Amino acid sequence: MNKSSINSSLKRIKLSVGFLSVFFLILVCMVSVQTYRNYQNNENTKYLCNFWSCKTSLHKKYGSWPNPRPELDKTQYKEWISIHRRQINSVKDILNDAIIFAGDDITEMWQRYPFGSEKSGTPISQNENIWKAHFHSNTISLNFGTGGDRVQDLAWRLENGVLEDPEFDPVAFSILIGAHDLQAGESPEVVVEEIRVLLEMILQKKPETAILLIGILPFGDNNLHSEELFQEKQIIGWSSETNSYYKSITFVNEKLLEMATQLGDLVSFVDCSSFFVEKQSNGEKILSNELMSDFFRLSPTGYSKLSSCIRYPLQMSYYTAVSVRFS
């Protein structure tokens, strides 16, 4: 082998080593970024759990609902309280013929941008039109959703709001809550226990009011889905292997169904998960951003599906309460 051949071979070897080094460097960076993201998620969970118990029901721990939204700063909390007061004031001239939609940002965004967003309180015309078409034609429907609320925050709002007004007696409550609890690190068992206390509180304060309990909707997994998957395919998996929230949400919804059957005729349950889960040709179940723009908050198409899912069960809850009141 002559000298030029040797030099050429050495150059190829150097190039190969260079390419491999770059490849491994990129691979290490990708692993490091994902590890850091997982670390951040874990640290955020630990941080949030310092504000409330993730393993024990707060109501059980304190014997009452503690002050809400402890993670907010003074300015944010002031805005949150002002929203709460506006909701209370909205029922002043309404006595008995109302349906209260209570929940977090999923409920709030049926009409407006949620608390905590840049456009907080601004109407979302497409969603609001869906809301009015399904729920505001023959009845008075009030939106008591507030972005970021967990079960304990919603319970505090109701206990220190419409439930303490003896004159206000809504026909029905629609309750959709619990997703932020799971995201914040609360155990599924705590979520179920706190929802039970919430429902029992409503039934005690308003014994002739029906409750439609909506199961927690499927949502995206911040730990497992990658930005690349979102950007390219705009789908994420929905199974125990592809989404770490799958088991928790499934568990909670199964328990909520049992709970509804135990609490009497005025409480019913509807699980709308099937409206949001799509099955691919290979049998894999997925969530699409066509229905959930960020794999949590719903798109207008998503709100159309949710409205269709609960419309009939909500009518049945309404008629059940009316029959109880006139029996």
Q: Report how far residue 239's alpha carbon sits from residue 40's, in angstroms, rounded to the nearest whole number.
A: 24
Across the chain, the runs of DSSP E, i.e. the strands, are 98-103, 140-145, 172-176, 210-214, 235-237, 267-270, 277-279, 285-288
Confidence of residue 47 (pLDDT cuts 50, 70, 90): low
- The whole-number pLDDT of residue 294 equals 81
Percent of the chain at pLDDT > 90 equals: 61
pTM value is 0.83
Confidence of residue 289 (pLDDT cuts 50, 70, 90): confident
- Token pair for residue 251? 């568990």
- The whole-number pLDDT of residue 261 equals 96
SS3 144: strand
Residue-wise pLDDT for 210-262, tens only, equals 999 999 999 986 544 444 444 555 778 899 888 889 999 999 999 999 999 99
SS3 299: coil
- The whole-number pLDDT of residue 152 equals 94
